[in-house]
């Protein structure tokens, strides 16, 4: 087996190639329905964060939680892909890995919902 050519690169050449791999990952994730839904939601919610947030900290938290959901979904997709690569047969550890990844997505969604609900309540429904 040959060595990974990325390990031989240095400086800007390494950064340039890493960017290409990252863009390939986003392209691959786009084929996942959950990521696509979250990304489309993010295209709406990140700009909306500038309206809902009244300070730069609020805006950063609102936008950051949306991006956090997408990051966790990407990691979950990576876990699921690695498990599926091993084989299609059912295994308790494979199920556990997928369930834990799904739970991480759920927690990130709940965090996002809580931050947005709190910001909307404080900024629009209190005197």
Which residues are known to be catalytic?
Answer: 73
CA angle, 95 then 104 then 43, to 5° = 125
Of all residues in the chain, what percent are helix, strand and coil, respectively (each to 5)?
85, 0, 15
Identify the H or E element spanning 101: helix 92-124
Sign of CA dihedral 71, 73, 76, 82: negative
CB-CB contact of 108 with 74 (8 Å): no
């Amino acid at each position: 087996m040959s060595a990974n050519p990325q390990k031989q690169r240095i400086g800007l050449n390494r950064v340039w190639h890493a960017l290409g791999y990252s863009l390939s990952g986003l392209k691959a994730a786009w084929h996942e329905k959950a990521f696509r839904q979250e990304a489309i939601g993010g295209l709406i919610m990140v700009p909306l964060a500038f309206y809902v947030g009244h300070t730069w900290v609020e805006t950063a938290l609102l936008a950051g939680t949306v991006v956090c959901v997408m990051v966790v979904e990407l990691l979950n997709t990576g876990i699921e892909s690695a498990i599926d690569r091993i084989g299609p047969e059912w295994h308790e550890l494979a199920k556990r890995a997928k369930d834990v990844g799904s739970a991480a997505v759920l927690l990130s969604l709940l965090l996002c919902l809580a931050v947005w609900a709190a910001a909307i309540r404080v900024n629009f429904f209190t005197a």
